[in-house]
């Protein structure tokens, strides 16, 4: 009975596509559900239909070959999967997903599910971060890649992580003035971590090239930076920052692109009932998965950045590995050599990721510097002071309580943009580690659901 | 090393009933220990719809409900916060002549209880609530009913009690409870032992455990009212809305979000529940039909809770029939929020004076025929 | 006046729509976010503080880019494509 239902894959990025490819090769016909209009995920996002002409080398740079291979892999199996683009999965309940497409809701029952839900930028707030002109690093890259637009004429790049230098480089290449790269990591930390990154010389070389290119074009690169504020009334016109020596400085710009690494999209895993654990490297609660991608719930598999940040290359491997795990669990034959190879490569990437997170550490002191009147929850307009107050007065010792009492995380984004901040503020006010304050429980709908969908229900065939 | 607390009154359950009882007992000068398995006001008291409504209650609840009404009026003085409580009025809609007739009959029956119900129909109805259009032929307004933020009100009672000196222990499940001579003994693992002259059983959907420990089994069922909230919308509604005959209910908070309820969620386990997809979609459909202003809105969150329901949908309130010094208050069957503080005050009165003017006969714990 | 700057892909078909009643142009394949922010510097004003917002994550996570149409529809600007004849608003509806 359980094999009667087709396997379901959520997400058509590198993990989802490689999972689908493997299932198709085994003779199954998976359903691939994706919110985007075209496959590729965020990293290999394809431009929209309608006259976009840049070649993949222009869009994806060094990764053009990989992007193209992933795109082609999906194209090759297109007629052997049930592909549902522009479809939001808004809930997971009792062995079925709830899908929203074209305004109508429909339940999709599953016996076997691969969640490849991806990630978005992790952010912490600073005064002025809600001003027009302040975007995430990932968002700034989307504007360029997907729309041929820069987020400003003179852009400041702020934060940490591989995206910081990559996106600054891409902007510079596109002819945009880069006002500076403001890296929160001290120079010495990065230099020390470089040794570990030699595990992947290609990636290290690319990173060094970005930095070299930026320097060669006169882009100032500052290490050990903390933001003071974004200035501007109706839109941002300057970044005020503190340099490594504590000196306050001001850089005129009309846009700020910022991010502090990535944050997994875990809501569906939570609604599916997966057990979570605190991950020190990602400084986040993540659904547990074994080396093959099995979650704690039989029949539910996890792959890619949605269950721990490990990058696009790992996502491709993990997607295929999760599909192989599913096939094994379905009692189908799998090629042991391939499993072994994938496991080996995933292990090597995992080791490299550890050096990478050492090179771009999360700025743990940032949260202490957030003034009480700084807005932390963009949706509901909640301040840092409100969260600290419920912690200090003993009213909230964990995330969901803080949410109930302050509304932080209650708005449209369901805590995606503020929960990292709330966790930092709460744990520091309470003197615990970031793992000591729990995590926000996911609630359906995981993204806003039109009320009109209530009258637009499709029955399952 | 087990901590030992001796006190006058032990309370199991820090919802709005237990929290308010603790507050009133402290005001009367008794020593109080409140034990809460989760966080105070985190269960049904804190996640309900937020209607502060007397209208529509069975007559036997109205004395307690009126008592609660005057407490709600003193919220800032008692709690130091208004908890977003507004006396917006509660308007119960009639969609048909028979529904209107039953609203009129309810007003007749409740004369003398002080609800001040007002039947509004036809032109005047449309003039006063143009936002409701013609989806109702009229309604019954209880002008001093309203709504509040349950996430804020319910924890605030326990907090106010703590401020007055009540010992409030959260994350403290009661594993064993018994009476040892003249004293109740409550154990929370190996960590805590509480001894008290009086025991209040205000543990919501889990109260049956305490009742059973004293030989009073009750047919309590856990159900999960389904709720949803939209993104903020321009204000169009200033009253808390119910519909005669049940179905959907809704209120718009001053920030603009529309909170709607209807249908039931499902249990994940004995302690947790989730909204149910069909109930959510049906609720959205019905809410959009009742409030066309929601046509383009989005639901941003759904939730439910775990609430204890009795077979006759009246709560169990009053003294134990087996054990002197034990008082029960639970099984509010989805309607405990408004009445909660009135019940808390009544429990405090029972403990301090040995009696109450409130008629509690309809709420006796032994009114149900034993099922076994 | 424009927040976003076009740096490539400018050979696309022109799409005409109105922004706060003003006739403006975008290109086919633009998201509503791109269309509005190449013609102005905000998408909306917030409900609680009446401050300007212009989106943030551009990938459907932050939910900060909901805009409304003159017909009252609400659209997520980063994930919805512009179409001829759309009538979009970037003014606050909360202080009116």
Residue A9's Cα: distance from chain center in Å? 18
Residue range B201-227: mean pLDDT, rounded: 97
* C3, part of any domain: no
* A298, part of any domain: yes
Residue range B351-359: mean pLDDT, rounded: 97
* A449, part of any domain: no
Of C47, C48, C74, the CB nearest to B296: C74
Model ipTM? 0.97
Helix (H) or strand (E) holding A221: strand A221-222
* C8, part of any domain: no
pLDDT at site A91: 98
pTM, entire model:
0.96
pLDDT in tens, A363-416: 999 999 999 999 999 999 999 999 999 999 999 999 999 999 999 999 999 999
CB burial readout A169-206, b (16+ within 10 A) else e: bbbbebebebbbbbbbbeeebbeebeebbebbeebbeb
- Contact partners for chain A, using 3 or more CB pairs closer than 8 A, are B, C
Same domain, A197 and A226: yes
Chain C residues near residue B295 by CB distance under 8 angstroms: 72
**Number of other residues whose CB lies within 10 A of the CB of residue A102:** 9
Chain A residues near residue B263 by CB distance under 8 angstroms: none
pLDDT at site A66: 97
Same domain, A133 and A249: yes
The percentage of residues in chain A with a pLDDT greater than 90, rounded to a whole number, is 89
Question: Between helices A201-216 and A187-197, what is the axis angle to 10°?
Answer: 140
Confidence of residue B230 (pLDDT cuts 50, 70, 90): very high
* A345, part of any domain: no
Confidence of residue A198 (pLDDT cuts 50, 70, 90): confident
pLDDT reading at B159 higher than 50: yes
Of C47, C68, C72, the CB nearest to B232: C47
Of A147, A265, A416, the CB nearest to C31: A147
pLDDT at site A87: 98
* C21, part of any domain: yes
Q: Which domain holds residue C63?
A: 15-89
Residue A400's Cα: distance from chain center in Å? 22
pLDDT reading at A3 higher than 80: no
pLDDT at site C94: 53
Of B151, B275, B297, the CB nearest to A444: B275
pLDDT reading at A352 higher than 60: yes
Same domain, A151 and A247: yes
**Number of other residues whose CB lies within 10 A of the CB of residue B333:** 19
Same domain, A198 and A222: yes
Mean pLDDT of the residues in chain B: 96
Chain C residues near residue A147 by CB distance under 8 angstroms: 4, 9, 29-31, 34
Domain count, chain C: 1
Same domain, A226 and A304: no
pLDDT reading at A105 higher than 90: yes
pLDDT at site A365: 93
Which two tokens mark B334?
């989805």
The percentage of residues in chain A with a pLDDT greater than 70, rounded to a whole number, is 98
* A446, part of any domain: no
CA distance, residue C27 to nearest chain A CA (Å): 9
Domains of chain B: 3-50+151-218+313-367 (3.50.50.60)
Confidence of residue A142 (pLDDT cuts 50, 70, 90): very high
Whether the CB of A297 is below 8 Å from some CB of chain B: the reply is no
pLDDT at site B42: 96
Q: What is the number of residues in chain B?
A: 372
pLDDT in tens, A24-51: 999 999 999 999 999 999 999 999 998 9
Residue range A334-340: mean pLDDT, rounded: 97
| Preferred mutation among C1, C2, C4 to probe A, highest tally of A CBs within 10 A | C4
Phi, psi angle pair for B156, to nearest 5°: -65, -30
Instruction: Pick the most confident of A17-26, A182-191, A349-358.
Output: A17-26
CA distance, residue C52 to nearest chain A CA (Å): 6
- Contact partners for chain C, using 3 or more CB pairs closer than 8 A, are A, B
Contacts of A272 (CB under 8 A, 6+ apart): A92, A113, A115, A295, A297, A300
| Residue A431, helix vs strand vs coil | coil
Same domain, A136 and A243: yes
- Across the interface, whether the CB atoms of C6 and A148 are under 8 A apart is answered yes
- Across the interface, whether the CB atoms of B231 and C94 are under 8 A apart is answered no
**Which CATH number fits the domain that encloses residue A415?**
1.10.10
- Across the interface, whether the CB atoms of A120 and C6 are under 8 A apart is answered no
Asked which of A332, A354, A375 is the last residue of a domain, the reply is A332
Same domain, A129 and A248: yes
Chain A residues near residue C9 by CB distance under 8 angstroms: 47, 51-54, 147-148
pLDDT reading at A109 higher than 90: yes
First to last CA, chain C: 24
* C36, part of any domain: yes
Same domain, A138 and A245: yes
Residue A337's Cα: distance from chain center in Å? 31
Chain C residues near residue B234 by CB distance under 8 angstroms: 93-94
Asked which of A205, A225, A260 is the last residue of a domain, the reply is A260
pLDDT at site A58: 94
pLDDT at site C96: 38
Residue range B247-259: mean pLDDT, rounded: 96
Same domain, A228 and A299: no
pLDDT in tens, A252-277: 999 999 999 999 999 999 999 999 99
* C6, part of any domain: no
**Which CATH number fits the domain that encloses residue A183?**
3.50.50.60
Q: Which domain holds residue A219?
A: 123-260
DSSP type of residue C13: P
Domain count, chain A: 3
pLDDT reading at B213 higher than 80: yes
Q: What is the number of residues in chain C?
A: 96
Contacts of C38 (CB under 8 A, 6+ apart): A149, C2, C3, C4, C5, C6, C26, C30
pLDDT reading at A355 higher than 90: no
Same domain, A269 and A247: no
- Across the interface, whether the CB atoms of B256 and C93 are under 8 A apart is answered no
* A448, part of any domain: no
* C5, part of any domain: no
| Preferred mutation among C51, C56, C64, C77 to probe A, highest tally of A CBs within 10 A | C56
Same domain, A231 and A169: yes
- Across the interface, whether the CB atoms of B296 and C47 are under 8 A apart is answered no
* A94, part of any domain: yes
DSSP type of residue C31: B
pLDDT reading at A200 higher than 80: no
Mean pLDDT of the residues in chain A: 95
Chain B residues near residue C66 by CB distance under 8 angstroms: 231, 298
Which two tokens mark B164?
């007055």
**Which CATH number fits the domain that encloses residue C63?**
3.10.20.740
| Spatial distance between the Cα atoms of A13 and B253, rounded to a whole number of angstroms | 40
């Amino acid at each position: 009975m359980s094999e009667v239902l087709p396997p379901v894959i959520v997400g058509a990025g590198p993990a989802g596509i490689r999972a689908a490819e493997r299932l198709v090769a085994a003779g199954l016909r998976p359903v691939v559900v994706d919110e985007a209009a075209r496959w590729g995920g965020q990293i290999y996002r394809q431009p929209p239909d309608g006259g976009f002409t840049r070649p993949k080398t222009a869009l994806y740079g060094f990764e053009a070959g990989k992007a193209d291979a992933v795109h082609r892999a999906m194209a090759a199996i297109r007629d052997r999967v049930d592909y549902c683009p522009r479809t939001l999965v808004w809930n997971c309940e009792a062995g079925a997903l709830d899908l929203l497409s074209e305004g109508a809701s429909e339940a999709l029952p599953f016996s076997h599910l691969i969640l490849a839900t991806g990630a978005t930028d992790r952010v912490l707030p600073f005064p002025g971060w809600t001003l027009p002109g302040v975007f995430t690093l990932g968002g700034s890259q989307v504007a360029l890649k997907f729309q041929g637009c820069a987020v400003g004429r003179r852009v400041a790049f702020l934060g940490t992580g591989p995206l910081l230098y990559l996106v600054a480089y891409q902007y510079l290449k596109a002819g945009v003035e880069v006002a500076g790269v403001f890296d929160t990591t001290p120079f010495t930390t990065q230099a020390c971590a470089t040794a570990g990154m030699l595990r992947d010389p290609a990636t290290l070389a690319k990173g060094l090239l970005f930095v070299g290119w930026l320097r060669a074009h006169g882009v100032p690169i500052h290490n050990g930076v903390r933001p003071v504020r974004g200035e501007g009334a109706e839109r941002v016109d300057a970044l005020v920052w503190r340099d490594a020596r504590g000196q306050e400085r001001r850089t005129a710009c009309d846009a700020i692109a910022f991010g502090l690494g990535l944050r997994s999209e875990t809501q569906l895993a939570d609604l599916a009932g997966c057990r979570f654990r605190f991950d020190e490297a990602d400084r986040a609660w993540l659904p547990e998965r074994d080396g093959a991608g099995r979650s704690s719930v039989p029949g539910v598999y996890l792959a890619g950045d949605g269950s721990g940040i490990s990058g696009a290359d790992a996502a491709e491997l993990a997607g295929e590995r999760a599909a192989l795990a599913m096939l094994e669990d379905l009692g189908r034959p799998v090629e042991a050599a391939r499993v072994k190879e994938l496991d080996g490569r995933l292990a090597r990437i995992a080791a490299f990721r550890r050096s990478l997170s050492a090179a771009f550490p999360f700025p743990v002191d940032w949260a202490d510097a957030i003034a009480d009147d700084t807005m932390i929850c963009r949706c509901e307009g909640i301040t840092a002071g409100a969260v600290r107050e419920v912690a200090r007065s003993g009213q909230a010792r964990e995330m969901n309580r803080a949410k109930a009492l302050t509304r932080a995380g209650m708005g449209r984004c369901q805590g995606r943009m503020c929960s990292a901040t709330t966790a930092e503020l709460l744990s520091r006010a309470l003197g615990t580690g970031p793992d000591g304050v729990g995590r926000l429980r996911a609630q359906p709908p995981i993204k806003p659901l039109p009320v009109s969908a209530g009258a637009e229900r499709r029955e399952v065939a | 090393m087990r901590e030992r607390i001796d006190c006058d009154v032990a309370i199991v359950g820090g919802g709005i009933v237990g929290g308010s009882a603790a507050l009133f007992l402290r005001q009367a000068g008794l020593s109080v220990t409140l034990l809460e398995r989760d966080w105070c006001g985190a269960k049904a008291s804190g996640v309900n719809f937020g209607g502060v409504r007397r209208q529509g209650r069975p007559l036997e609840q109205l004395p307690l409900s009126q008592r609660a009404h005057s407490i709600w009026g003193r919220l800032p003085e008692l709690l130091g916060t208004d908890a977003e409580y507004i006396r917006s009025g509660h308007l119960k809609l009639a969609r048909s002549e028979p529904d209107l007739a039953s609203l009129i009959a309810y007003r007749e029956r409740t004369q003398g209880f002080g609800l001040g119900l007002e039947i509004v129909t036809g032109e005047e109805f449309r003039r006063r609530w143009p936002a409701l259009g013609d989806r109702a032929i009229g309604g019954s307004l209880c002008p001093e009913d309203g709504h509040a933020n349950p996430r804020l009100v319910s924890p605030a009672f326990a907090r106010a009690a703590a401020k007055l000196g009540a010992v409030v222990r959260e994350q403290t499940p009661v594993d064993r409870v018994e009476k040892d001579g003249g004293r109740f003994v409550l154990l929370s693992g190996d960590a805590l032992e509480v001894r008290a002259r009086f025991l209040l059983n205000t543990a919501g959907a889990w109260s049956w455990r305490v009742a059973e420990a004293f030989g009073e089994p009750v047919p309590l069922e856990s159900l999960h009212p389904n709720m949803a909230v939209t993104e903020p919308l321009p204000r169009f509604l200033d009253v808390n809305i119910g519909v005669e005959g049940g179905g959907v209910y809704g209120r718009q908070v001053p920030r603009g979000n529309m909170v709607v309820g209807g249908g039931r969620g499902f249990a994940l386990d004995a302690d947790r529940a989730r909204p149910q997809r069909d109930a959510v979609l049906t609720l959205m459909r019905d809410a959009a039909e009742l409030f066309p202003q929601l046509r383009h809105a989005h639901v941003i969150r759904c939730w439910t809770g775990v609430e204890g329901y009795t077979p006759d949908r009246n709560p169990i309130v009053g003294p134990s029939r087996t054990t002197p010094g034990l008082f029960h208050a639970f099984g509010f069957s989805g309607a405990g929020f408004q009445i909660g503080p009135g019940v808390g005050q009544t429990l405090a009165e029972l403990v301090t004076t040995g009696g109450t003017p409130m008629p509690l006969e309809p709420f006796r714990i032994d009114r149900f025929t034993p099922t076994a | 006046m424009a927040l976003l700057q076009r740096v490539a892909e400018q050979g696309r078909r022109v799409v005409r729509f109105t922004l706060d009643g003003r006739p403006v142009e975008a290109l086919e394949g633009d998201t509503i976010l791109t269309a509005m922010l190449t013609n102005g510097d905000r998408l909306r004003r917030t409900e609680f503080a009446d401050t300007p917002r212009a989106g943030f994550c551009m990938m459907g996570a932050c939910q900060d880019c909901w805009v409304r149409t003159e017909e009252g529809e609400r659209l997520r600007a980063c994930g919805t494509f512009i179409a001829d004849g759309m009538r979009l608003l970037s003014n606050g509806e909360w202080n009116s």
